[in-house]
Amino acid sequence: MKKIKFLENYIFDFKCLIENHDLKNFEKFSNMILNIKKKKRKIIVIGNGGSASICSHFSVDLTKNAKIRCINFNEANLITCFSNDYGFENWLVKSIEYYAEKGDMLISISSSGESKNILNASKYFKSCFGQVVTFTGHKKNNNLKKIGNINFWVNSNSYNMVENIHQFWLLMCIDLIIGKKDYKSSL
């Protein structure tokens, strides 16, 4: 019985956290993405750990299903080479230097909003290339939120809750862009 109660509370908390956001921000975010497509630019998505997995999933689905160019840097030899040569705190900055172009958009995902490599890359991108959208959790006034043009924040200290909601929101935005939630993902 204790486990059932835990699950009921978990699902209740998850629902509350998902719904506790201004829907107009999602509309604005989806319009920004569509504008990137219209201008023939691309979206770059960055994150560490579980957030890196979210980056991979989002970038593939956005590219394949919504036909919008989206990349991430989750390539082991790129990460280890650039981390070795430039330091872990700067490997994403170097990746952005090589891959970003003026007018691109960066999506930065960090549960804490305090990951040094994500902060450095986001500041650099915003100053040189274009707009930054952030997905964070934990502290409301985390440092990554201060960089974003649009910010999506989850009011939770639970990494699993924060990461699951980030994934949900990002995939929801793909469906919003496509205009439906049920579609064939292959041609």
Spatial distance between the Cα atoms of 73 and 75, rounded to a whole number of angstroms: 6
Mean pLDDT, rounded, for 143-161: 97
pLDDT digits (tens, 9 = 90+) for 56-84: 999 999 999 999 999 999 999 999 999 99
Say yes or no to pLDDT of 187 above 70: no
Whether 187 is in a domain gets the answer no
Whether 67 is in a domain gets the answer yes
Domain extent at residue 37:
22-178
Whether 150 is in a domain gets the answer yes
Mean pLDDT, rounded, for 4-28: 92
Q: Which two tokens stand for residue 101?
A: 């172009």
Whether 57 is in a domain gets the answer yes
Whether 14 is in a domain gets the answer no
The pTM assigned to this predicted structure is: 0.95
Spatial distance between the Cα atoms of 169 and 175, rounded to a whole number of angstroms: 10
Calculate the alpha carbon distances from 67 to 50, 59, 109, 137, 158 in Å.
24, 10, 22, 29, 33
The total number of structural domains in the chain stands at 1
Spatial distance between the Cα atoms of 49 and 139, rounded to a whole number of angstroms: 19
pLDDT digits (tens, 9 = 90+) for 91-149: 999 999 999 999 999 999 999 999 999 999 999 999 999 999 999 999 999 999 999 99
Calculate the alpha carbon distances from 73 to 22, 56, 112, 116, 119 in Å.
30, 9, 20, 16, 16
Kindly report the CATH number assigned to the domain that includes residue 34: 3.40.50.10490
